[in-house]
Amino acid sequence: MDDRGNGYLMMTHQRLQLTIQGAVQGVGFRPFIFRLATRLKLRGWVSNDTQGVVIEVEGGPERLNQFLAQLQANPPVLAEIETIKQKYIPPLGEHTFTIRPSQNGPKTTLLLPDVATCADCLRELFNPSDRRYRYPFINCTHCGPRYSIIQALPYDRGNTAMASFHLCPDCFSEYQNPLSRRFHAQPIACPTCGPIVEVWHWQGVQLRRAMAEERDDLEPIGLASSALRQGQIVAAKGVGGFHLLVDARNADAVKRLRTRKKRPDKPFALMYPSLEQVKHTCEVSELEAELLQSPKAPIVLLQRRHSSQADPITDEVAPGCTHLGVLLPYTPIHHLLMADLDFPIVATSGNLNGSPICFNAEQALEDLKPIADLFLIHNRPILHPIDDSVVQVINRKPQLRRRARGYAPLPLSVTFPSHHSSSKGLSPTPQSARHQKRPTILAVGPHLKNTIALSLDDHVFMSQHLGDLDTVPSFDHFQQTLQALLQLYECQPDLIACDAHPDYASTQAAQALAQQWQVPLVSVQHHYAHVLACMAEHHLDAPVLGIAWDGAGYGLDGTVWGGDFLRITASGFERVGHWRPFLLPGGDQAAREPRRTAMGLLYTCFGGKIFEWEGLAPLKAFSQPSAKILQSMLDRSLNTPLTSSVGRFFDAIASLTNLMQTTHFEGQAAMALESILGRAATEDDYPFHLSSSLPFVVDWEPMLIAILADIDQKVDTSWISTKFHNTLVEIIVQIAHQIDEPYVVLTGGCFQNQYLSEKAIHRLQENQFRPYWHQQVPTNDGGIALGQVMAAYRHYDGCFPKVNETFDRQQPFVEADSLCA
């Protein structure tokens, strides 16, 4: 120490207090700060709290500036710094820098998703001299489980599923050593003190643990590998739940999985041992390779190579599909399995049809008993089950199709609009805006591809993909996730937002919660939420033209919407265009039978005479008695709602061209139309007509007549499909010109179609529009909850309305539980 004493140092030194928010817990941030401060000979401390990381650091001004610069320039790989609040406080004259215990308080810190195994842990995993050699739960501050094991904030071991695994002396030494990669790595474990893996199987009604002649720690992985080579189906517990695994080269084994899982057609995801093997089967761009190898490690949709002799994958994996869903190993268990096998395997969600993913060993042993031959299980609890994420590349940008592991529950940072008085048209003063309370909003999402969203300050926390809410187990999972999200952040919503459809399970749950908590309930039109979700992720403000095309959404005029053009205004939306409605015989049943949609479309144009047409593909798909019942329904308008859905129009074209008459999963018919596009290259399109005034109605009848003529002339189906897609794009461009808003948002499930999206983007850009499409949240219903939050906030006027309060009819809300145009 300087011989002039501590008092002189306190006069020349400064003390800086920093509060850092973002993804800064579970990423090695505190060890990073400790090492940085120690290297710069600074004093003070660092601690986690429930809002992020708090630092007090003391030293000379030059070194404090270096500390700040290096903190921002070189944070840990997984860290995402959102804000740094700093202030100078009186120096204390400390002599060391320490890591303090975590602090409690209001909970706003960002939870980190589960992270794929890092390169350093992989080297140790396969190093025979390392004490964690082939240990299935190796991890460090740069990788491993996070969200799936957390019980409460802050993120400390005692608040995770690892609390019951007491550290051995070696692990404790690493955990306490600031120079170790495992310094304060909460899931740290080893073969001595950590979780274990076992293999179980059923013998008749008896459950037995599988044994090998020479039992050792590696036996379970070896047994599972051997079973896969023999064509058996293995249920393997991973980081977020169970996978069902089978040899992807073995057609009989994959067929057996399809039969047992009752999944006849829907494509399976594939796990490959390496990127090099993926490239033998699929076209892989630089961006797609980056996504596959990223810490998020999603399933990436890749174009399958045409007639590749090196392609070992049986067609049973993805019947009729031109793309494959591919992922690389992302947990130590996967890496060990794939290193033993060295061939691709099917890796599909371990669940019964219509139920959420199994994550509890006892549950899986019972539920998956009819499917799996062998169970590879472990005893590390999963507190938050979570599926694999799915990503595709649209116009050289990644687009999430399913937001789950690796992405959830990281929030989106959004720009909430400033409020104004809708009755007087006045903007708030800066002072009133500052003092205005920002509400906490819970959005319960839609019925299909459900996710939940919770707004806290400038963040919207979105749950992982929860799936369709058609079954009791799925709805229970939805309710458990909702409660877990609220408990983690210890908050109760001020407002609840839901879909306008009164029969959705999520809507009914929202109604019960609003009554229980005595808070306002706001229902949001489905396609309005779609558009607002895309606007939110791109920080767009009104006015915007939103094009929302999907299978179905509850319409405010009593019809089923799904082919909509919405102009978003400062106070709501105007439906400035839509497809001409057509009949949907059987309602929801038509969504599973494209033949019904096709007959409803034809009946809308030509009436009952279509039942006399010879050679009509959808009509031939019905038995004579069924066709008579269908005609009676249409003639008498029984259960034949009107729809303007573009998704259903896809179904109708797939039926008319005889590509598909019935489906087994959502979007199957549209996928069939998209899959044949590569066989034809044309810029031709079909005629259509637009009405001359608002709202512009897209009359598809000229297109339908032209398509029927092409079918009659036996034009190749791929040619018809390409012209149909081109027509959809031209409809978008013409409506955009009519509305003349510079910003155009493309949203809804139809824009999962790569050809449609990319062609629409390019044509809009050519016509001087600025198109936006989803990237961070799904364009399908998985993004709806974000839009519901934004809709509820847009109409929040700074004062919480009373429950059941009626709004002015000039406003987008008719009453507290109904949002309309």
Q: How far apart are CA 32 and CA 753, in angstroms?
A: 43
Instruction: Answer yes or no: are the C-beta atoms of 461 and 403 closer than 8 Å.
Output: no
Placement of tokens 């094009």 in the chain: 547
**Residues of the chain falling short of pLDDT 70:** 1-11, 105-109, 204-208, 210-218, 307-309, 419-437, 797-821
Indicate the pTM of the whole model: 0.91
Q: Are 220 and 197 in contact (CB under 8 A)?
A: yes
C-alpha triplet 474, 475, 478: angle, nearest 5°: 90
pLDDT in tens, 153-174: 888 899 999 999 999 999 999 9
Tokens of 239: 């980081």
Query: Can you read off the two tokens belonging to residue 381?
Result: 């609890």
**Residue 418: phi, psi to the nearest 5?**
-75, 145
pLDDT in tens, 556-615: 999 999 999 999 999 899 999 999 999 999 999 999 999 999 999 999 999 999 999 999
pLDDT of residue 110: 74
The most distant pair of C-alpha atoms in the chain lies apart, rounded to whole Å, by 107
Residue pointed to by tokens 């399109």:
685
Q: Which two tokens stand for residue 42?
A: 């600074």
Q: How many C-alpha atoms does 781 have within 13 Å on its Cβ side?
A: 24
Residue 458 has what pLDDT?
87
pLDDT in the model for residue 795: 80
Return the axis-axis angle of helices 784-794 and 526-537, rounded to nearest 10°.
90
Residue 525 to residue 821: CA distance in whole angstroms: 9
Residue 13: predicted pLDDT: 86
Instruction: Give the helix/strand (H/E) hosting 321.
Output: none
Distance, C-alpha 10 to centroid of its chain: 52
721 vs 724: CA distance, rounded Å:
5
What is the CA angle 174-175-177, rounded to 5? 60
Reported as a single tens digit per residue, the pLDDT across 683-699 is 999 999 999 999 999 99
Within 10 Å of residue 723's Cβ, how many Cβ atoms?
20
From the list 216, 185, 180, the residue with the least C-alpha distance to 198 is 216
**282: its two tokens:** 């699929």
Report the pLDDT value the prediction gives residue 464, as an integer from 0 to 100: 97
> Is 484:465 a contact under the CB 8 Å cutoff?
no
